[in-house]
């Protein structure tokens, strides 16, 4: 029998505000356990939360980036549950009135474009972290993450494969990254996803029973966990075993999941309005002001790169994978006035160096403008393309400007035709045999002679000029026979 998978995602994204959602404790990653928490974020009795305005603004930005409607009236609720990483035994979240609702994003699939609906985006506080390893039979609790502002992006069950899920998460990640509200570092857990999977026999409409896998923090693991769960459910159905609604834990090292607990429904959490925080209200004008303050998002940039700059889609997507890289590209393109050359040079030469040296775009020790000046020098035939690579490598090593490197290393292209002519004549007299072969019709010899001349000019001869003069000199000798 054939089965149709249905996948929904809950993507959790930690917001990069300076302080936590209800107190002044700083938001950052790592550090000594329990050094960034206070009575408020650990929920000690008698403390009062004060809502961080920036966190609300960031949630609205996320909603606008993901094409959601923003509720002018929303409120916070208590979600009650006991878990050791949440010392106050309830989480402040949003229940029936989230800040954002009804959005979505278009992704590319092998069958064309597909719109994945987003049901809601709500704001909540993150819980702490349990440390299980290396303490024998104990687990320790680190509450540094308690109260870090978190948004949860809940999709409709519109995804039907692990590839679609991966594509969607990647696109959401880019939108949030460019919105400037989160660093979206999956490896540090600031972006992670819960995956809901069900399968149903082909030809039926009713969705199968779903299971949920929580806190998966890499694109690869998201895809692997989905594929594995689809396979597991199909095997059970084939054996006539019913799927139970449950939460499972994905173990990416073993490549398998195991049952964690039966799935709670909303009523198990006994939600009620948070009494200590007033509802969140916004006017249309305030929401518009936030919209207008937002930077250009990757889908707009993609349009501009492909349509206005004439880049191909692969190159445009590649440049957009990092905010730093796209900014670097834009200032290089602006400086040299040729986006296509800037894109080619960055993709071929700069990315190669980053890759070789295991660096990321934020580690480039010079600005896009400086690179733009090097590209302009190549276009103006002031430095040859061969030497430009050496210049680039030295820019990475020393941080010197291309102008300084070119002058120090004597890379300036020789555009003086009398100097080139003299060298070419010397080369031709030293290579009489090759000249005879060329005159005798062996065209290939031209490239050999061209190479000899370039080498004699230490790679600094303007290739166009060498070619032109060499041709002229050879023609003269041809005529002389
Ligand atoms: Zn605190």
Residues of the chain with CATH 1.10.10.410: 417-479
225 within 8 A of 213, measured Cβ to Cβ: yes
Cα–Cα distance for residue pair 381/379, rounded to 1 Å = 5
Percent of the chain residues topping a pLDDT of 90: 74
| Cα-to-centroid distance, 289 and ligand 1 (Å) | 30
Residue 26, both tokens: 């700083």
Average pLDDT over residues 188-200: 95
| Cα-to-centroid distance, 54 and ligand 1 (Å) | 16
Rg (CA), the chain: 31
| Cα-to-centroid distance, 40 and ligand 1 (Å) | 5
Residue 33, both tokens: 């356990």
| Cα-to-centroid distance, 46 and ligand 1 (Å) | 14
pLDDT of 421 higher than 70: yes
Helix axis angle for 313-320 and 323-336, nearest 10°, is 120
| Cα-to-centroid distance, 440 and ligand 1 (Å) | 86
| Cα-to-centroid distance, 86 and ligand 1 (Å) | 13
| Cα-to-centroid distance, 148 and ligand 1 (Å) | 9
| Cα-to-centroid distance, 85 and ligand 1 (Å) | 15
Q: What is the pTM of this model?
A: 0.86
Cα–Cα distance for residue pair 347/412, rounded to 1 Å = 24
* Number of helices and strands in the chain (H, E): 16, 16
| Cα-to-centroid distance, 38 and ligand 1 (Å) | 4
Cα–Cα distance for residue pair 140/128, rounded to 1 Å = 11
Work out the pLDDT band at 478, boundaries 50, 70, 90: confident
Average pLDDT over residues 263-267: 66
| Span 235-261, pLDDT tens digits | 999 999 999 999 999 999 999 999 987
| Span 47-99, pLDDT tens digits | 999 999 999 999 999 999 999 999 999 999 999 988 888 888 999 999 999 99
As a whole number of Å, the end-to-end CA separation of the chain is: 82
Residue 333 burial (CB < 10 Å; 0-12/13-18/19+)?
Answer: buried
Task: Name residue, tokens 């106050």.
Answer: 88
Average pLDDT over residues 22-48: 91
Work out the pLDDT band at 1, boundaries 50, 70, 90: confident
301 within 8 A of 321, measured Cβ to Cβ: no
Tell me which CATH code domain 417-479 carries. Answer: 1.10.10.410
DSSP, collapsed to helix, strand or coil, labels residue 327 as helix
| Cα-to-centroid distance, 127 and ligand 1 (Å) | 12
Residue 48 burial (CB < 10 Å; 0-12/13-18/19+)?
Answer: exposed
Residue 449: C-alpha distances to residues 308, 455, 462, 470, 474 (Å) = 42, 10, 15, 8, 10
| Cα-to-centroid distance, 145 and ligand 1 (Å) | 10
């Amino acid at each position: 029998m054939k089965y149709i998978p249905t996948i929904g995602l809950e993507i959790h994204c930690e917001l990069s505000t300076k302080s936590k959602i209800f107190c002044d404790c700083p938001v950052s990653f790592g550090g000594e356990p329990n050094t960034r928490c206070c009575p408020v974020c650990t929920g000690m009795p008698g403390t009062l939360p004060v809502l961080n305005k920036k966190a609300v603004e960031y949630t609205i930005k996320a909603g606008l980036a993901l094409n959601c409607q923003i509720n002018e009236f929303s409120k916070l609720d208590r979600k009650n549950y006991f878990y050791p990483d949440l010392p106050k035994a309830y989480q402040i979240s949003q229940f029936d009135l989230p800040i954002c609702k009804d959005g979505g994003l278009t992704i590319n699939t092998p069958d064309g474009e597909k719109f994945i609906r987003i049901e809601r985006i709500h704001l909540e506080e993150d819980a702490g972290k349990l440390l299980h390893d290396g303490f024998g039979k104990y687990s320790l609790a680190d509450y540094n993450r308690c109260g870090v502002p978190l948004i949860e992006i809940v999709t409709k069950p519109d995804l039907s494969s692990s590839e679609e899920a991966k594509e969607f998460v990647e696109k959401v990640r880019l939108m949030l990254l460019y919105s400037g509200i989160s660093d979206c570092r999956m490896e540090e857990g600031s972006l992670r996803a819960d995956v809901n999977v069900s399968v149903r026999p082909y030809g039926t409409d009713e969705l199968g029973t779903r299971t949920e896998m929580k806190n998966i923090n890499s694109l690869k693991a998201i895809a692997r966990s989905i594929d594995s769960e689809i396979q597991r459910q199909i095997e059970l159905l084939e054996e006539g075993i019913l799927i139970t609604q449950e939460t499972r834990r994905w173990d990416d090292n073993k490549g398998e999941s195991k049952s964690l607990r039966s799935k709670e429904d909303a009523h198990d959490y006994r939600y009620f309005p948070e009494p200590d925080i007033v509802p969140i209200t916004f006017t249309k004008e305030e929401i518009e002001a936030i919209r207008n303050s937002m930077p250009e998002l990757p889908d707009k940039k993609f349009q501009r790169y492909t349509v206005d700059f004439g880049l191909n889609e692969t190159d445009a997507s590649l440049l957009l994978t990092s905010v730093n890289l796209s900014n670097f590209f834009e200032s290089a393109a602006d400086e040299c006035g040729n986006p296509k050359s800037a894109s080619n040079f960055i993709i071929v030469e700069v990315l190669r160096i980053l890759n070789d040296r295991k660096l990321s775009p934020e580690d480039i020790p010079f600005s896009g403008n400086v690179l733009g000046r090097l590209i302009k020098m190549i276009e103006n035939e002031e430095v040859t393309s061969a030497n430009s690579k050496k210049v680039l490598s030295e820019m990475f090593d020393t941080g010197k400007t291309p102008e300084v490197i070119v002058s120090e290393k004597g890379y300036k292209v020789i555009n003086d035709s009398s100097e080139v002519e003299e060298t070419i004549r010397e080369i031709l007299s030293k290579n009489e045999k090759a000249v005879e072969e060329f005159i005798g019709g062996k065209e290939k010899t031209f490239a050999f002679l061209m190479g000899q001349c370039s080498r004699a000019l230490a790679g600094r001869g303007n290739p166009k000029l060498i070619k032109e003069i060499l041709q002229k000199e050879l023609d003269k000798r041809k005529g002389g026979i």
